Amino acid sequence: MILELAGVAAGYGSKTVVSDLSFGVEPGQIVALLGHNGAGKTTTLKTVMGLIAPRAGEVRFDGQALGRMPVAERVARGIRLLPEGRGIFPDLTVAENIDVVAARTGAQGAMLKPADVYALFPVLDERRATRSGSMSGGQQQMLAFGLAILGTPRCLMLDEPSIGLQPNLVERLFGQVRDVCRAHGMAALLVEQNVAAAMGLADRVVIMNNGRIVFEGLPEEARASNVWHYF
Ligand code: ATP
């Protein structure tokens, strides 16, 4: 397992929002984390990223317990979060966004460099000098994904990347997620409201309800199960 949660609980203030979370992601594997609004999916991603501390259990990365390791160190080890609402700098051009993030994620010896992102998304190459916030939602999401994989990502967490995208763009973006995972052995943990698209992409599915896991298995097992009453 590259990423493993063992009995993790987390929350805000006096409120525990997720508990007893145990699941893992293998290198190169895509795991979809599904559940209705407020089920605790984003809280789970934030806990792995180190934005909030677990109040029970352990997050392990590459076999090592992360404890209270700071976010920057998690990023350096290859844990990445593509936050809901797009993690780009809207006032910078496409090239400036890419250069700023490439400089921070260690261009030396990086697995994925700016040239790889431009090759993956030729439209970003054409729009290097465009202010990124003025691009279409789809192009902004491609840039956000491109920024998230710069450097040497080993586990990418995507929080509802399909929001606001046309179905054909969702299909293209998910195809690119799959290609990068397969080509580089990168793991992905995908939070999605678009259940059909996520199930089509994922190798495994974890379903949450009220802060707990109610199903973990293959997409076909999820389809055949009775977990859908949670949605
Ligand atoms: P959504 O799809 O709506 O983002 P989710 O499954 O990602 O849902 P979370 O965002 O993890 O759910 O939220 C789980 C619960 O935690 C909700 O009840 C929410 O109100 C609460 N919550 C989320 N963020 C905070 C916060 N910063 N402070 C306090 N409570 C929060």
Confidence band of 228 (pLDDT split at 50, 70, 90): confident
- The residues, ordered by sequence, that sit 6+ positions from 139 with a Cβ below 8 Å of its Cβ are 123, 124, 127
Q: What is the pLDDT of residue 107?
A: 58
User: 231: Cβ below 6 Å to ligand 1?
Assistant: no
Pocket test for ligand 1, best of 8, 21, 42 (most atoms within 8 A of CB): 42
More confident residue, 103 or 11: 11
Mean pLDDT, the chain, whole residue set: 93
CB 30 within 8 A of CB 201: yes
Instruction: Give the residue whose CA is nearest to atom 16 of ligand 1.
Output: 17
Tell me: pLDDT of 191 over 70.
Answer: yes
User: 14: Cβ below 6 Å to ligand 1?
Assistant: no
Cα–ligand 1 centroid distance for 41 (angstroms): 8
More confident residue, 35 or 104: 35
Tell me: pLDDT of 62 over 80.
Answer: yes
User: 42: Cβ below 6 Å to ligand 1?
Assistant: yes
Residue type at 185 in one-letter notation: G
